[in-house]
A and B are shown apart, each in its own frame.
Chain A
């Protein structure tokens, strides 16, 4: 059996004879003791700390304003709101256990720690959708909506792509399956959320349901950093294991992300069809722009035509807007300079 198809063994919790600094992200030797000052990829410490400093929870956001506004949404807006909410929740529910599972097979304890934090954050996201729902509709309606998400054929079809690969790794945790899982994790965190994000930011553009979109902003920021991490994980996995770095696997990345792009467009056509002010063709271009970013993050070339962001309003709110109350670990030094621009005699390209 080739290396890429040989199941990874779950590593023992502590291997005292192995070095603390891991010799590989998979199939490496690592004592299991983590000293953050002696890790194979020092940049992971920075990332770990940043992820922790993002800590937030749903209850910190007061839903009163949204509760009042809810009654003024159109029936279509309400319906789409609830369907997207439960759909996103179901994606996060998938991600929480999967990240924990991957942890068992990764031999570098600094990566394990980051997978643990990611898994925790996915749990927070999951809860925040429940929190939003519980503020707006009674339990019976919530349950109905979750059932609807489970039964929806379009939702099922798109989730299936992810599920198949997550399941395959669960059954046979080989390096190849881990690679495929990671690519699909990019699909989930880096592509599949965005039709939903578009909807909530679109409401926000109209000053509607701003508390919900504040939460969406927190979620998006976390997800962006997860995609950043998983992209690095993929690149490190392929660099350390040249057996995985094959033309077929590169093609796999292009094909699979392209498949997710098609499914996201299909989902957008279906869920956003009746939402005024979101141009579906523009959204299709947006998804391609988004996927190009994901390709470049994993070190590949753009797959779709190069274009500027056609929906630049889909982005994380500013700190002021998110009303950051928590003391920031990386408190920015106050800078005393006035903002300057090209009118001051230099060029901004």
Chain B
């Protein structure tokens, strides 16, 4: 099985969450890539069995600018066989908490096999970290972590 975690982060919150996802997944997936969204090799993306996307939210519930090309790629490719998951961090004082996760969710549900989403407020806390194994299990065809 071949999997990839793609993330974007400015102040480190989403990065931290991505690290947790990485640490958990790496226990059972040997072929696991972990890339910043700016470093994606788009030619390789279709070779993955599953992809987890990590994004913060910007503007008013918008995707960060650097996430746009990835979003567009899914729209164009429609890789329906691909299992996907989205996680993100945001701030619930904004009207669209983790709006970027919702934008990905609604699109990935149509274009891919969306398995799970996870929203976290700012830097992950212990109750968030506890959800990561379940998140990873949903992404895999068979549960292994929880």
Min C-beta distance of B110 to chain A, whole Å: 6
B123 within 8 A of partner (CB): yes
CB distance B11 to A297 under 8 Å? yes
What separation, in Å, do the CA atoms of A338 and B135 have in the docked complex? 23
Pairwise interchain contact B109-A346, C-beta atoms closer than 8 A: yes
Q: Taking the complex as formed, is B24 at the interface, i.e. its CB lies under 8 A from any CB of chain A?
A: no
Q: Is the interface of B mostly helix, strand, loop or mixed?
A: mixed
Q: Count chain A CB atoms within 10 A of each CB in B11, B13, B102, B103 and give the residue with the most.
A: B11
Query: With A335-B103, A337-B109, A340-B105 in contact, do A349 and B92 touch (Cβ < 8 Å)?
Result: no
How many residues of chain A get a CB closer than 8 Å to chain B's CBs?
39
Contact check: which of B94, B106, B118 meets A339 at CB < 8 Å?
B106
A332 at the interface (CB under 8 A from B): yes
Smallest Cβ-Cβ distance to B126: which chain A residue = A306
**B14 within 8 Å of A (CB atoms):** no
Question: Cα distance A319–B99 when bound, in Å?
Answer: 13
Tell yes or no: B45 within 8 A of A by CB: no
Per-position binary interface string of chain A over residues 299-334, scored 1 when its CB falls under 8 Å from any chain B CB and 0 otherwise? 100100010010010111111010000000010100
How many A-B contacts at CB < 8 Å in the complex?
Answer: 93
A340 touches B95 (CB 8 A): no
| Of B92, B94, B123, most A-chain CB atoms within 10 Å | B123
Contact B106–A349 (Cβ < 8 Å) = no
CB contacts (< 8 Å) of B115 on chain A: these are 346-347
Asked whether B91 lies within 8 Å of A346 as measured between CB atoms, the reply is: no
Measured CB to CB, the closest approach of chain B to A67, in angstroms, equals 26
Which of B28-36, B47-55, B59-67 lies on the face that meets chain A?
B59-67
Q: Is B116 interfacial (CB 8 A cutoff)?
A: yes
Task: Give residues of chain A (25-59) contacting chain B, Cβ–Cβ below 8 Å.
Answer: 43, 46, 50, 53
Determine whether B27 belongs to the interface, using a CB cutoff of 8 Å to chain A. Answer: no
Measuring CB to CB, which residues of chain B are less than 8 angstroms from any residue of chain A?
10-13, 58-60, 62, 65, 91-96, 102-103, 105-107, 109-110, 114-119, 121-123, 125-127, 131, 134-135, 138
B62 contacts A330, CB within 8 Å?
yes
A selection of 15 A-B contacts at a CB cut-off of 8 Å is A43-B10, A220-B93, A224-B91, A293-B121, A296-B13, A299-B123, A312-B92, A318-B95, A332-B59, A340-B114, A344-B109, A347-B138, A348-B117, A348-B119, A349-B135
* Residue A101 interfacial (CB < 8 Å): no
User: Closest A-chain residue to B130, C-beta based?
Assistant: A349
In the complex, whether A232 has a CB less than 8 A from a CB of chain B is yes
Q: Which residues of B contact A337 (CB under 8 A)?
A: 106-107, 109-110
Is the CB–CB distance between B105 and A46 below 8 Å?
no
Determine if A306 and B125 form an interchain contact, defined as CB atoms under 8 angstroms apart: yes
Which A positions have Cβ atoms within 8 angstroms of B? 43, 46, 50, 53, 220-221, 224, 228, 231-232, 235, 292-293, 296-297, 299, 302, 306, 309, 312, 314-319, 321, 330, 332, 335, 337-340, 344, 346-349
Within 8 Å by CB of B118, from A293, A297, A312, A349, lies A349
Chain A residues contacting B110 (CB-CB under 8 Å) are 337
- With A330-B59, A335-B106 in contact, is A306–B127 under 8 Å at CB? yes
Residue of B nearest to A297 (CB): B122
Question: A296 to chain B: which residues have CB within 8 Å?
Answer: 13, 122-123, 125
From B12, B62, B94, B126, give the contact of A299 (CB < 8 A): B12
- A85: shortest Cβ distance to chain B, in Å? 21
Contact across chains for A224 and B92 when beta carbons are under 8 A apart: no
CA distance A319 to B95 in the complex (A): 8
Shortest CB distance B51–A (Å): 14
Q: How far is the CA of A318 from the CA of B95 in the complex (A)?
A: 5
How far, in Å, is A297 (CB) from chain B's closest CB? 6
Q: A314-B93, A321-B95, A348-B118 are in contact. List 6 more A-B contacts (CB 8 A).
A: A220-B93, A221-B94, A332-B59, A337-B106, A344-B109, A347-B138
Chain B residues, CB < 8 A from A344: 109
Residue of A nearest to B105 (CB): A340
When distances are taken between beta carbons in the complex, the residues of chain A under 8 Å from B102 are 339
State A346–B107 Cα separation when bound (angstroms).
13
**Residues of chain B lying within 8 A (CB to CB) of residue A235:** 11
The CA-CA distance from A338 to B107 in the complex, in Å, is 8
Tell me the complex Cα distance, A317–B107, Å: 25
Q: Which residues of A contact B123 (CB under 8 A)?
A: 296-297, 299
Given A306-B127, A339-B106, do A346 and B12 touch, yes or no (CB 8 Å)?
A: no
Output the nearest chain B residue to A44 by Cβ-Cβ distance: B10
Q: Which residues of B contact A293 (CB under 8 A)?
A: 91, 121-122
